[in-house]
A and B are shown apart, each in its own frame.
Chain A
Amino acid sequence: MSFSTTLYNTFFRRNSIFVGTVFAGAFAFGIGFDTGATAFFDRWNRGKQWKDIRHKYVEAAEEEE
């Protein structure tokens, strides 16, 4: 059984499976793309964002309490 036949039988044969694949793929791509873009963005702006300097002030506040 060739690859295209497998592909057809797995994903395209039934519309419910096909639509489900599209939705699940969109969901996974959304999460993956968001994670990748955020990782790149944080890498580019390393040390500048609040989450990079937050630990200095959170620890100081806990020590005071």
Chain B
Amino acid sequence: MLARQLSKGPALSALRRKNPLSIPRAFAVRNASTASSSSAFESFLNSRLTLASVSLFTAGSVAWYTHLYGSLPFLGQVHASHASEEGLHPPDYPWPHAGLIDTFDHASIRRGYQVYREVCAACHSLDRIAWRNFVGVSHTVDEARAMAEEVEYQDGPDDQGEMFMRPGKIADYLPGPYPNEEAARAGNAGALPPDLSLIVKARHGGANYVYALITGYVDPPAGVEVREGMNYNPFFPGGAIGMARVLFDGLVEYEDGTPATTSQMAKDVVTFLHWAAEPEHDDRKKNGIKAVILFSTLTLLSLYVKRFKWTPIKNRKILYDPPVDKKH
């Protein structure tokens, strides 16, 4: 047996060497065997379903690309505006609350409120935050009440139908610097300082953008003309912003002794504004981690139960037990 196998190999190769025609024949045989699958391939290529699905896939890809990037693929575009018109993209800063289960740094929120009150509040309102919102976040009840009482609010009418002024209550909203939008524009050379309540949600890049903007003031590069009264900031779309740089080292004096550098104040005030835009942030993350744990446990449980129930069904073997012929 072994000898036969040994002798077979050389004999075959010798045969092939002697008869070169046998090799093309082998190829021909192989071609004949693949011919059927080739015709199946051709019928696949020619089928309407293939045509329809490929067309659908192509149209879908183009639509998806257009939706994602805002322009058709493989078509060059010429823009009248420069890329700087869009504003520089802000970098990702390592916020203390950046992680999936990281809360705000509440000491930073408290310092940020101080910066807002002493610096930003000269021009920017914070309409949607009431004094009571600070309680349990950055200030105690007594502190919030004391801050509210420093401001006079109009109330009324009283018995005589007159409006009167009264010290603020804890449920009052933070006062704005201007009585109305026209006064705000008139005080800022026509530029309206936006309300800061939701500014972190309202700008692309969120907190990163606001931080980059208020720390990003530089001299305009050569060839860039900035109009009188405007300031150059590469992060602001268009480059020219009505607001001047306001944060300089040592501008405020923190009560907890933190050195008030420009970047520290910017970080604190942006953390504060982030809290103002998303006051539910901490609870959201806490409930999120709980929901993830519960739902993943339930998912694993349901997968296990499914396998448990299906195991006997999937592993069963159906045997045909033929009837025994009783006549024999």
Contact = CB atoms under 8 A, between A and B. Distances in A.
A41 B106 contact: no
B286 A38 contact: yes
Contacts, number: 47
B209 interface: no
Interface in A48-65: 48-50, 52-54, 56-58, 61
16 contacts: A33-B290, A33-B294, A37-B289, A37-B293, A41-B103, A41-B285, A41-B289, A48-B102, A48-B104, A49-B103, A49-B106, A49-B282, A50-B137, A50-B138, A61-B142, A61-B143
Given A48-B96, A48-B106, A50-B137, 4 more contacts: A37-B293, A50-B106, A50-B138, A57-B140
Interface of A: 33-34, 37-38, 40-41, 44-45, 48-50, 52-54, 56-58, 61
Contacts of A49: 103, 106, 282
Contact of B136 (A37, A40, A50, A56): A50
Contact-size category for B: 20 to 34
Nearest to B285: A41
Interface in B80-127: 96, 101-107, 110
Name the 3 nearest CB pairs between A and B, nearest first: A45-B103, A50-B106, A48-B105
A19 to B, nearest CB: 21
Nearest to B104: A48
Nearest to A50: B106
A5 to B, nearest CB: 23
B80 to A, nearest CB: 47
Given A34-B290, A37-B289, A61-B143, A44 B136 contact: no
A29 B290 CA distance: 13
